[in-house]
Structure 1
Amino acid sequence: MSTPLRYGMQLPVQSQSTIYAEPWEAAAGPDDLLDIARTADRAGFDYLASCDHVAIPRRLAPAMSTVWYDPVATLAFLAGVTRRVRLLSHVAVVGLRHPLLTAKQYATLDHLSGGRLILGVGAGHVREEFEALGVDFERRGAVLDESVDALRAALGPDEFPEHHGKLYDFEGLGQRPRPAQPRIPLWVGGSSPAAVRRAALKGDGWLPQGDPRDRMPGRIDRLKRLRAKAGIEEPLVVGAITEPLYVGGPPAWDVGRRTLTGPPDALAESLRAYRAMGVDQIQVRFRSRGRTELTDQMAAFGAEVAPHL
């Protein structure tokens, strides 16, 4: 019997890009996040995810909005009201910060949460953020590559981590508390050729950026070939972002033509196709008109759809 699909979700409210945010999120806040996190914990969600943007330039604000909560603060806030669900940065633009700073923040989060961190990392795409923080936007891929290596050292078991690279050089500097996990899972985000290669060669997992289903088998095949060629035998956690979901139906409102709707067994059958193509975990998103409808959808998914995955 194959391993069931794990399922997680990116938190609403904490990032409000017009691509995916629901209208009700504009007036939502901490209490909504707390209720959603508690629901995810009870409903068997594998993780909750939070995004990372420092500042949005005016030219992008109409599409992206300027609502982007800090992921470390947000996930730490929710760690205190949950017990089981894992905490994912999806994704931390780690090249914007020195690796020792990133390690201090996320090691503390892992320590305080009892070992529930998954560190998702990505190269970033907003030029003005890099320029404002004094980081070379054009070299962000190379910066991320070395940042991953430096973070592997800084988040490892040694109190005095050591890394000697072209961009970062440190040793003899102690950091405690150490992470609760002996090895922090590091998932690489992005669907560009460079991001897929980085995930294959440096990651413990891959977080695609909304690839449609028909592109996933090719991406997964490339991941496997790259890892095999490099002689990497450890398994890679392959993710996918599903279409928007609405459990039950037919819905009494327009949930959009791309939304998967229907009874739980029909939704599960559709989602099992991801497992068949080699996906290990799916990131789900539910259409909703308010917090209560969202948490009802989450609970229904956990109770009625997930057992069939």
Structure 2
Amino acid sequence: MNANVEHGFSRAQLSEQPGYERLFLREKLTIGLILPLETHPNSPAPTMRDHVTMAQKADSLGFAALWMRDVPFYDPDYGDVGQVFDPIPYIAYLAAFTRKIALGTAGIVLPMREPLILAKQIASLDQLSGGRMVLGLSSGDRPAEYPLFGIDFETRGERFRDAFDVFTRVLHNDFPRFSSPRFGSSRGTHDLVPKPPFGGTPTVAIGRAQQSLAWIAENMDGFIGSSPVPEQLPSFANEWHAHVEQTSGPEEFKPLGIGGFLNLVENQNEPLIRTRGGFRAGSKGLVNFLHDAQAAGVNHIALNPKVSRRPYAELMDELASEVLPHFPSH
């Protein structure tokens, strides 16, 4: 049985959820932006100046999503603090200033979160945003953070599955029953209020989260991974869609996404090349790559232009005029 049905949530309801609907459609690709909406190639932290204005600009230009990372502490050895603000309150803040753009996490480090509180937060965000919440979940990639929370880094895969089970049961069921070795238990005497406004909040894996692709395909609503080189896109997509078919049936659609840094250069004709953690390209080279990705079966790309040296507003305008018309949000 599909795990989402088992947890009281039919995936058929996802087509009514505005965040999921804006992002994902079979055989189509959309474009989202990973925050901060600011270039800072030589600094670990952005200034976060004009961040609300930039979020509203992304919304009005028609980008599909704003993705927020979960970086609780600054690690000088890693040298990156994401968008500075914690994604949970920050999504609520931006929801009040935007209208249509999906609001996602890329991704909440689930082994370091208490799943009952997280369920309350996510249901609240989904309600407050009008159903625009898309929950990306990860296992984290910074070993030095885990001792701060008193958690063994090597157990993060098992903790992820345990927390995910509790999270989905309380989010999608009325008066749920659950028992966890780490996160408490309930005999069905208590209920989570509120519930998501459209029956459920979509969950996507950001990276493999120490799980097999088969587990992700069976239990989650989608997968966003690091992009392979262009030549490997078909095999990358085929592997995911084959797991979805095996676990959920040939008619089931669960979207596939890719993400990475974007260095968008001024020469629009410069072809795309893979760089560390992302891409360098002119806008026409990016369009060619995205057409190939869409044909291969990729449904969304989350781009982080923070490594670019051009003003972010200029980059956003060029993406909106030269790239978005080929891959409009739904």
The reply to whether TM is greater than 0.5 is yes
What residue number does 1:17 align with? Answer: none
Change (3 A) 1:121 1:109: same
More moved, 160-169 vs 175-184: 160-169
What residue number does 1:9 align with? Answer: 33
Alpha-carbon distance in structure 2 between the residues aligned to 1:133 and 1:53: 13
Specify the code of the residue in structure 1 equivalent to 2:304.
R
Alpha-carbon distance in structure 2 between the residues aligned to 1:274 and 1:256: 14
Change (3 A) 1:192 1:97: closer
Q: CA deviation at 1:210?
A: 4.2
Residues 1:259 and 2:280 aligned together? yes
1:92, 1:121 within 8 Å by CA — same for their partners in 2?
A: yes
Q: CA deviation at 1:65?
A: 3.5
Deviation readout 1:106-135 (Å, 9 max, x if unpaired): 111111111110010011122332222232
Alpha-carbon distance in structure 1 between the residues aligned to 2:167 and 2:161: 10
Residues 1:190 and 2:190 aligned together? no
Could you say which structure has the greater relative contact order, defined with CA pairs below 8 angstroms and 6 or more residues apart? 2
1:93, 1:124 within 8 Å by CA — same for their partners in 2?
A: yes
Alpha-carbon distance in structure 2 between the residues aligned to 1:226 and 1:274: 19
| Aligned partner of 1:167 among 166, 182, 206 | 182
Alpha-carbon distance in structure 1 between the residues aligned to 2:124 and 2:265: 37
Secondary structure of the residue that 1:88 maps to in structure 2?
strand
Residues 1:307 and 2:307 aligned together? no
Specify the code of the residue in structure 2 equivalent to 1:12.
P
Identity %, equivalent residues: 26
More moved, 142-151 vs 112-121: 142-151
| Aligned partner of 1:51 among 64, 69, 86 | 69
Deviation readout 1:164-218 (Å, 9 max, x if unpaired): 3443323423332222231211001115773533322211110103433344333
Aligned counterparts, 1:80-91, within 5 A: 80-91=96-107
1:246, 1:260 within 8 Å by CA — same for their partners in 2?
A: yes
Deviation readout 1:136-157 (Å, 9 max, x if unpaired): 3211111111222222222225
What residue number does 1:268 align with? Answer: 287
Alpha-carbon distance in structure 1 between the residues aligned to 2:235 and 2:262: 22
What residue number does 1:240 align with? Answer: 258
Return 5+ residue gaps in structure 1 as ranges: 15-19
* Count of aligned pairs between the two proteins: 291
Alpha-carbon distance in structure 2 between the residues aligned to 1:305 and 1:205: 24
Q: CA deviation at 1:8?
A: 0.4
More moved, 236-245 vs 101-110: 236-245
Change (3 A) 1:165 1:8: same
Aligned counterparts, 1:143-158, within 5 A: 143-156=159-172, 158=174
More moved, 236-245 vs 118-127: 236-245
